[in-house]
A and B are shown apart, each in its own frame.
Chain A
Amino acid sequence: MPKDFLAGAKDEYDVIVIGSGLAGLTTANILGSAGYQVLLIEQHYKLGGMATWFKRPQGHVFDVSLHGFPFGMKKSCRRYWNQEIADRIIPLLGVRFDNPQFSLTTPYDRENFTELLTRHFGVEHQTVTQFFDAARNMNFYDEQQVTTGEFFEKFFPGRQDIIRLLMEPITYANGSTLEDPAITYGIVFSNFMSKGVYTFQGGTDMFIEMMHDELKRNNVDVRINCNANKINTRRGAVQSVQVNDRTIRCRSVVSNANLLTTIFKIVGEEVFDKDYIDEARNVRLNNSSTQVYMALGENDSIDPATGDLLFSSTADRFETDLLLSRDITSRTFSFYYPSTRPHANPRHLIVSSTNANWDDWVHLDDDGYKASKEELIDTTLTALEKYVPNARERIIFSEASTPRTFAHYTQHQNGASFGTKFEGLAVSRGLPEQIKGLYHAGSVGIIMSGWLGAINYGVIVSNDVDAQLM
């Protein structure tokens, strides 16, 4: 008989959270600690969603999305998780850029960027100050008309090199482009600039395990290998969720699954207003990613001067389309030293990431897919040689992931790495107005994505759920 992953689960909960991405985990934790009966279900066999890791022979552990996040994570983890988790958040000091326009290393904070922009790029100090203040003070309500490209043009007209410095990391961090509303840039950029880039010491596996422990302390019923097939509604309110072969009643549902999957697959468009469905249909998904995971041999090491995070490109200029192209010219390399996991085998690992289009990968047949993955690994090794001499001979293990991999593990439509474009946020926020007790919490609208964005959105939605249930 197959294992019953719902053994002992009750027939009714206050809240069912569908999906254990960082937004789902955070919502479950907050509502659990507030005293509600919470069921958290995850279709995969692991918690964390995109915040994930995997093990390979010889003691290699690869992190998928631990490249860096803003300092705000420390506060959010302390407030909505616990002090022990917050204490493990440490700065990443070596952020590097290397491209035909400039090569530099920076702590990636406002102070250093001001220095760089004035000294290295020759901009007036006052202009730089005005730029930072404008980015930081962007108001949710009035900056939606201006695009990020126009915003840059206002302060640094014609300066392709500066745009690259300011935009490239953010495009990697959340898939936003020069054509997206400036507010999406301003919020995320300012979050990073306030104190630089941070990481979690201990690795994603430890991070998620510590969260799981906290969920247990808060009496959240956590179930893996449990798929939400359907959310049942009645007279405009949620009623129950079909999980595997059971129907479990609840007063609220928080879906951490992809916004569009939630509306069109798990609920079904027939229960929504037509206008809402039209709006939802116009929500664009964000791009996906490819990654190459590489390990050095047990006794080999990377020179610490190589840095932690390297934005490398051979393209003459920065263009959003180039970043998504299969003809890859730009990569972000994350270098992991043994200090990433002080408790584990000392290992030096490298993960190369690029943004990617679903359409470029979905139509390949098995052979074509395999060949494309091999080519991806091969060209990545070539690019890496510039920073890790003789990388090709020294890398003892390599593996690639593609938009298809991300779609497979998280059920995100088109393998979207960062949810949806900006317009998705209004649709996500509008869900409870359509169906009482139905919420979406997960990467959406660009600003609510990334580790910090997802966690904070989980907090925002918990507040709504608590207000409804009270």
Chain B
Amino acid sequence: MTPAEIRDAVLDILDTINPDEDLSSLDDEKEFRDQLDMDSMDFLDIVMELRKRYRVQVPEEDYDNLVSMNKTVAYLEPKMKDISA
């Protein structure tokens, strides 16, 4: 997957987790928490969905990487580059 495809994949997961949230104006630089109504369970959901959909493991000590879209994509890139979109 390319970074753009990974971004789409994360967006799709965010949409599943919070269907009521408008994601079109998401700022990739800013933290998710400051833009979306997200709590720690939502971040766990991202981890679970990544494993379910792409078999990507995110260990607990790496959860901090999932704070913003840019950081998430950068963290996932090496783990997902060999996955076909």
| Given the contacts A72-B39, A79-B17, A463 and B48 also touching, CB distance less than 8 Å | yes
For residue B4, CB closer than 8 A to chain A, the reply is no
Q: What mask results when residues 27 to 57 of chain B are scored 1 for a CB within 8 Å of chain A, else 0?
A: 0000000000001010011011001100101
Question: Are B47 and A463 in contact, with the CB atoms below 8 A?
Answer: yes
Question: Are A460 and B51 in contact, with the CB atoms below 8 A?
Answer: no
A81 to chain B, nearest CB (A): 14
Nearest A residue to B18, CB-CB: A75
- Neighbouring B residues of A459 by C-beta, 8 Å: 41, 44
Cα separation A443 to B9 with both chains bound (whole Å)? 34
Which of under 10, 10 to 19, 20 to 34, or 35 or more describes the interface residues of A?
10 to 19
Question: Are B57 and A467 in contact, with the CB atoms below 8 A?
Answer: yes
Partner of A460, one of B17, B39, B44, B57: B44
| Given the contacts A79-B17, A467-B57, A470-B55, A456 and B48 also touching, CB distance less than 8 Å | no
For residue A115, CB closer than 8 A to chain B, the reply is no
- Neighbouring A residues of B51 by C-beta, 8 Å: 463, 466-467, 470
Question: How many residue pairs bridge A and B at CB < 8 Å?
Answer: 24
For residue A76, CB closer than 8 A to chain B, the reply is yes
Question: Are A79 and B39 in contact, with the CB atoms below 8 A?
Answer: no
Q: What mask results when residues 456 to 470 of chain A are scored 1 for a CB within 8 Å of chain B, else 0?
A: 100110110011001
Nearest B residue to A35, CB-CB: B52
- Neighbouring A residues of B41 by C-beta, 8 Å: 72, 75-76, 79, 456, 459
Main secondary structure on chain B at its contact with chain A? helix
Q: Give how many B residues have a beta carbon under 8 Å from the other chain's beta carbons.
A: 11
- Neighbouring A residues of B47 by C-beta, 8 Å: 463
For residue A362, CB closer than 8 A to chain B, the reply is no
- Neighbouring A residues of B55 by C-beta, 8 Å: 470
For residue A371, CB closer than 8 A to chain B, the reply is no
A433 to chain B, nearest CB (A): 12
Cα separation A200 to B11 with both chains bound (whole Å)? 32
Partner of B48, one of A72, A75, A76, A466: A466
Cα separation A128 to B30 with both chains bound (whole Å)? 28
- Neighbouring B residues of A34 by C-beta, 8 Å: 52
Question: Are A79 and B45 in contact, with the CB atoms below 8 A?
Answer: yes
Q: What mask results when residues 433 to 470 of chain A are scored 1 for a CB within 8 Å of chain B, else 0?
A: 00000000000000000000000100110110011001
- Neighbouring B residues of A466 by C-beta, 8 Å: 48, 51
Cα separation A466 to B50 with both chains bound (whole Å)? 12
Q: What mask results when residues 73 to 96 of chain A are scored 1 for a CB within 8 Å of chain B, else 0?
A: 001100100000000000000000
List chain B positions with a Cβ less than 8 A from chain A: 17, 39, 41, 44-45, 47-48, 51-52, 55, 57
Q: Give the top 4 A-B pairs by smallest Cβ distance, nearest first.
A: A463-B48, A456-B41, A463-B44, A467-B57
19 contacts between A and B (CB under 8 A): A34-B52, A75-B41, A76-B41, A79-B17, A79-B41, A456-B41, A459-B41, A459-B44, A460-B44, A462-B48, A463-B47, A463-B48, A463-B51, A466-B48, A466-B51, A467-B51, A467-B57, A470-B55, A470-B57
Q: With contacts A75-B41, A462-B48, A466-B48 known, what are 14 further pairs, Cβ within 8 A?
A: A72-B39, A76-B41, A79-B17, A79-B41, A79-B45, A456-B41, A459-B44, A460-B44, A463-B44, A463-B48, A463-B51, A466-B51, A467-B51, A470-B57
